[in-house]
Structure formats: C-alpha cells, structure tokens
Copies of this chain bind each other. A is one copy, B any other.
Amino acid sequence: MIVVKVGGGKDLNIDAVVADIAALYQAGRPLLLVHGGAETTNDVATALGHPPEFVTSESGYVSRRTDRRTLEIFEMVYCGQLNKMWVEKLQTQGINAVGLSGLDGRIFEGTRKDTLRVRVNGKRMVLRDDWTGTVERINTHLLHLLLDGGYLPVLTPPAASDQGEAINVDGDRAAAMVAAAFNAEALVILSNVPGLLRNFPDEESLIREIPRAKANDFMQFAEGRMKKKVMGAVEAIGEGVQRVIFADGRIESPVSKALDGGGTQIA
C-alpha cells in the first residue's frame, strides 16, 4: 500500500498529482489518497465573514480555532469543494474514486479536546466549545471493503470523536495513522517545498535522507506546518511504515519521483 498525502496549498500541481496517481493505480499499485484544505478554508471563511483564527498550544503547535461555525466551513471546503474536486478529477481519468471524510464510517476516530490550553499573543488562555482532536484509531474495515471492491478511497478530515461528533484533526497525522494501519510500503507527503529543508526556505538546503532511528532529531529543521508532517512521519515510522517521503507537489509525476528517491527520504 502507498498512502499519498497532498496538502491544500494553491501552488500544488493538482493535475500532475492526479495523472500520476492514475498511472500508478492503473499499473496495479494499491493506493490511498488523503488530502487537506487549510488554505482554501481560510479564504472561504474570510469570504463568509468568519475569518480564520489560529492558536498556539502550550507545547508550541499552531492549530485552527474551530468553533461550530468554523467546523461547518471546514466541512464545506474539505468534504465538499476539495474532496469532490479530487474525486471528479480521478473519475474523469477512469479511476473509480470514492471520497469520504474520517467521520464517515468513523474511519478516523479520536478524542475531542473540548478544552484547549493555548497561548494568544503570549498570554495563557483556556478555550472551550472547540471542535478539535487527534486521530487515535483508523477503522480499516470500511477501507478494506472499498479497496477489495475496486474503489480508490480519497480521505479527508474531519474525524469522528468517540461520541460520533465531527472534529477537526490534522490531515498529515491522519495520513500517517492510515499508513501505519496498513503497514504501508510508503507514505508520500506532498507539499509546496521540495522536502525538509535544513535552512528554510532555502530549497537548495534539502535534506535528502534521514535514517529512521534519527527521525526525531530532525524535528529542529521543521518550520510551521512542516512540524506536524515530521511528527506524523516519526509516528508512522515508529508503527512500521517502511518509508516516509516529504516531496515536492508542484512538479510533474510528483508521487513517482518521490517513490524513485526524490525529496526527503526517511527509511
């Protein structure tokens, strides 16, 4: 199994990702796609008069403040606009894609953190009525049904809480959990950089290889959203994924090139 995670960044070459996935899939490589949508969600939230807010946890991670209205807009973009865009593009390539959120069939399941301890402008605050959480389990039953039935699953947040509520979860870490659940041969994480950079944003400073035992040490090079990608990679490797690759989603054949040794390889 190859799990491909593709972000929602606007400079990604979506048609190249689709063509490459279609070619690999039609060549018989078992595949699963997980996508995000943070950037588009920011735009739509702003257009709908409910602009995004971000908060920083006490351990330094940035996440989206997700009140009920934000959750609704998040679902509009991730599960509506973008999930169906990916499915349509794959369907027009002859791939029988099926788009699902982690809420559907509780594919991604975890605990809702209804109380968030955060820092806003350096001040400690406690946020309530928040709809975020972390994926703790992947329910593979539905995914196996789809894969065995000849469908290509296209997955996206939100996840389901233990009570069945929708929760905003990080897509990179969800993809890492999916890869772990399938003991994937590779988790390919595509974004708008060539991989993990020693001196962000200098693309010449690409780190080409990270020994799996040292993955955690490379956390120091992760900036911004890359932090959760590296965290997901470390988790995935720890749970038996053979290879994690951070690769460039702006180029032609981005998945094949990653599988052929491009980007940052953790193996």
Contacts and interface: CB of A to CB of B under 8 A. Distances in A.
Nearest to A105: B98
Given A92-B163, A97-B104, A80 B87 contact: no
Nearest to A78: B80
User: Which of A90, A98, A149 gathers most chain B CB within 10 Å?
Assistant: A98
A64 interface: no
A83 B80 CA distance: 9
Query: Mostly helix, strand, loop or mixed at chain A's interface?
Result: helix
A79 interface: yes
Interface stretch (A138-146, A183-191, A259-267): A138-146
Interface stretch (A1-9, A69-77, A121-129, A212-220): A69-77
B75 A81 contact: yes
Contacts of A142: 98, 149, 151
When A and B form their complex, which 4 residue pairs have the shortest distance between CB atoms, in order from nearest? Answer: A80-B80, A91-B164, A76-B80, A76-B76
Interface of A: 44, 47-49, 72, 75-81, 83-85, 87-88, 90-94, 96-101, 103-106, 141-142, 145-146, 149, 151, 158, 160, 163-166
Given A47-B49, A77-B80, A141-B149, 10 more contacts: A44-B48, A47-B47, A48-B48, A79-B99, A84-B103, A87-B104, A88-B166, A91-B106, A96-B105, A99-B103
15 contacts: A47-B48, A75-B81, A76-B76, A76-B80, A79-B99, A88-B103, A92-B163, A92-B165, A97-B104, A98-B100, A98-B105, A99-B100, A99-B103, A99-B104, A145-B149
